[in-house]
């Protein structure tokens, strides 16, 4: 693995950190990591949050000032660097105050990229990015390449930079559209875009802006870099053209000019004019068309980084999947219970439905993001015998789907599980894939998935897959 040299601009910027008056806005995990990294490098740091996280002072280096339970406009106007949490929209008035005061606004992942010369492999997209990130890291590790995983997947990238330093060969990072809003110089060695479907339209005004934010991942790449996009998705395939970087694609339907694809039950790679077989599609240990796409994307990125097909095939056979992503939590009495709590938009839930054989009792609903539900109509009619709705989105979902399939408003996840258990038949699947975020009834999608797992095992007798 060839390391990139820290650009002169980033080196000068990093050397100037001791003179910075920095505000870090939002004290979730990424904010804490950013505040710690800046403080250790000598910046004067104010950490601020609308809430009052318990024990925060003990988690940060000495000298970090805390402003909790609210924000001070004076603090924002007085800083020259603002690191903003990805959960805070660009329209926030305190960001505007910092900009008015002349501050530079960046995200934590942008900060981390300026503090390391280690190459970055970055994965974005609407669905599949977490699994693709994990698969890519796994393939690289199979080849003896030290490739820690972080970013939007859970571990802040600044934390990886601080702890791994120059020991890592490549940082593999999941990157959200929110993290790309304030990342003007981020330059991945390889950038992957899995797909684009309507999501977060409560934050972004339209699909075009959402896609354009995702595509910022490509904007700083040069001839030594590469982008990998989904050739089957029109919204991503349009980014194959243009740009100074090398372009690769992946497809379940046709061989690309360069990249990875599936054909007649086999997986292939084509780069530099050489076609190589990776493995059979059936060798992939995690089922579903979405996981096939994720694996193809990871293979294309790994091949660009110099990994051979043998390492890809080994990962295919051993990869066990991730919690809350089509996770089989129980099989009992001929019934399968699947936790797909990470299915937080219509596109993700549609792909999950098409990956399940037999009849499905679907549990969906939660906090409505306002996205288009029409991608779900076909899979619903084809696979779902009954839909159990929970949460705030229940009324809109019911109005949209009740003419196509039987619908029941269950209200809570516990009631939906109880009703599904009473009605499911042998050979069928009870699938939690909400097509919504979770914040009306749960802390996050992990909490929702954990609760479902416990409920499913309780009603099914606790027999796990």
Which residues does the annotation mark as catalytic? 129, 152, 200
Q: Decide if 1 contacts 118 (C-beta within 8 A).
A: no
| H or E element that contains 297 | helix 289-304
* 339 vs 326: CA distance, rounded Å: 6
DSSP β-bridge partners for residue 173: 122, 150
Which phi and psi angles does 250 have, rounded to 5°?
-135, 150
* 431 vs 441: CA distance, rounded Å: 18
* 202 vs 439: CA distance, rounded Å: 13
Closest residue by Cα to residue 29 from 131, 147, 162, 159: 159
- Helices 289-304 and 346-353: crossing angle in degrees, nearest 10, is 110
* 422 vs 163: CA distance, rounded Å: 50
Q: Decide if 285 contacts 316 (C-beta within 8 A).
A: yes
| H or E element that contains 293 | helix 289-304
Q: Decide if 226 contacts 120 (C-beta within 8 A).
A: no
H-type helices in 27-92, by residue range?
A: 29-40, 56-59, 73-77
* 363 vs 347: CA distance, rounded Å: 15
* 135 vs 141: CA distance, rounded Å: 10
DSSP β-bridge partners for residue 360: 384, 429
Q: Decide if 248 contacts 259 (C-beta within 8 A).
A: yes
* 296 vs 169: CA distance, rounded Å: 22
């Amino acid at each position: 693995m060839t390391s990139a040299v820290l650009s002169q601009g980033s080196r000068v910027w990093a050397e100037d950190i001791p003179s910075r008056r920095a505000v870090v806005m939002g004290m979730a995990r990424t904010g804490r990591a950013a505040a710690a990294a800046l403080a250790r490098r000598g910046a004067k740091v104010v950490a601020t949050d609308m809430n009052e996280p318990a024990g925060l002072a003990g988690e940060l280096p000495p000298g970090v000032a805390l402003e909790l339970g609210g924000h001070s406009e004076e603090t924002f106007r007085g800083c020259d660097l603002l690191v903003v949490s990805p959960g805070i929209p660009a329209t926030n008035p305190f960001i505007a105050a910092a900009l008015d005061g002349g501050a530079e606004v960046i995200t934590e992942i942008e900060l981390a990229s300026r503090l390391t010369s280690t190459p970055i492999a970055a994965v974005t997209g609407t669905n599949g990015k977490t699994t693709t990130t994990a698969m890519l890291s796994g393939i690289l590790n199979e080849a003896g390449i030290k490739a820690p995983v972080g970013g939007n997947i859970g571990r802040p990238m600044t934390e990886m930079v601080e702890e791994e330093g120059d020991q890592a060969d490549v940082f593999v990072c999941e990157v959200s559209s929110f993290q790309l809003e304030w990342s003007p110089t981020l330059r991945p060695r390889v950038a992957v875009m899995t797909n684009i479907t309507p999501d977060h339209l409560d934050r972004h005004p339209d699909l075009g802006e959402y896609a354009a934010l995702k595509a910022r991942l490509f904007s700083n790449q040069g001839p030594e870099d590469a982008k990998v996009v989904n050739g089957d998705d029109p919204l991503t395939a349009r980014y194959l053209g243009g740009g100074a970087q090398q372009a690769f694609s992946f497809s379940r339907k046709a061989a690309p000019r360069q990249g990875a694809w599936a054909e007649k039950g086999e997986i292939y790679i084509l780069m530099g004019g050489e076609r190589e077989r990776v493995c059979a599609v059936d060798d992939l240990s995690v089922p579903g068309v979405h996981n096939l796409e994720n694996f193809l994307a990871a293979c294309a990125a790994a091949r660009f980084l110099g990994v051979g097909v043998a390492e890809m095939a080994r990962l295919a056979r051993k990869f066990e999947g991730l919690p809350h992503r089509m996770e089989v939590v129980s099989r009992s009495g001929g019934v399968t219970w699947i936790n797909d709590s990470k299915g937080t938009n219509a596109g993700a839930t549609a792909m999950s439905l098409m990956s399940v054989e037999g009849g499905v009792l679907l549990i969906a609903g939660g906090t409505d993001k306002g996205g288009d539900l029409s991608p779900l109509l076909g899979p619903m009619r084809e696979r779902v015998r009954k839909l159990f709705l929970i949460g705030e989105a229940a009324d809109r979902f019911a109005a949209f789907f009740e003419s196509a399939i039987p619908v029941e408003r269950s209200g809570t996840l516990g009631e939906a599980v109880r009703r599904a258990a009473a009605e499911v038949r042998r050979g069928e699947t009870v699938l939690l894939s909400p097509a919504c975020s979770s914040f009306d009834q749960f802390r996050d999608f992990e909490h929702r998935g954990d609760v479902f797992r416990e409920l499913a095992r309780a009603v099914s007798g606790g027999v796990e897959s």
